[in-house]
Amino acid sequence: MMKHEKMVEFLVRGVCVKKGRLLVCQSKGAVNTFLPGGHVEFGEKAVVGLAREIQEELGVKARIGGFLGAVEHEFVQKGQRHCEVNLVFRMDVPSLAPDSDPAACEHWISFAWIALDALGRRHLEPWPLRKLIPAWLSAKSEPCRWGSTIGA
């Protein structure tokens, strides 16, 4: 029997909204979508990691803005339990326009622009982001900066 190391993964994600549409990523063949970004490397600042991930995944430069919030997430994938913390930042990618889906530089993912009112229908994960992103963007009052799926 193989022993599996238990660990929490730290991810950094970007919220890029243009003309009421949010840039999302999707593993090819999957139903769920997620925010662009990826793993923070050891000793790397979160904002540097997000800019690096966008360059790797889309081949373009991103401007990383302020911290929006965080979501801890637990899920099962291929029979294995995973736990992660997603640090979410505002992001602008000047070279991308919301009228055409950008091409991915990595073969296993694709990108799409989705309407902000379609986050649930497009299966955005972790699911707390479906309510947190609109709250963060509207910011009429001090929004909740934390979400969790652990124990939900």
When pLDDT is averaged across residues 74-98 and rounded to a whole number, the result is 92
| pTM for this model (two decimals) | 0.88
**Dihedral in degrees, nearest 10, Cα atoms 121, 125, 82, 31:** 40
In which band, very low, low, confident or very high, does the pLDDT at 141 lie, cut at 50, 70 and 90? Answer: low
Over residues 4-61, the pLDDT tens digits come to: 567 889 999 999 999 999 999 999 999 999 999 999 999 999 999 999 999 999 999 9
- The per-residue pLDDT for 1 is 43
Tokens for 110, please give them.
């694709």
In which band, very low, low, confident or very high, does the pLDDT at 143 lie, cut at 50, 70 and 90? Answer: low
When pLDDT is averaged across residues 114-139 and rounded to a whole number, the result is 94
- The per-residue pLDDT for 139 is 72
Shortest CA distance to 59 belongs to which of 105, 113, 120? 105
> Is the pLDDT at 112 greater than 50, yes or no?
yes
When pLDDT is averaged across residues 112-123 and rounded to a whole number, the result is 96
- Domain 8-144: homologous superfamily in CATH: Nucleoside Triphosphate Pyrophosphohydrolase (3.90.79.10)
User: Left if phi > 0, otherwise alpha if psi is -120 to 50, otherwise beta: which for 143?
Assistant: beta
Q: Pick the range with the lowest mean pLDDT from 70-84, 118-132, 137-151.
A: 137-151
Q: What is the domain partition of the chain in residue ranges?
A: 8-144
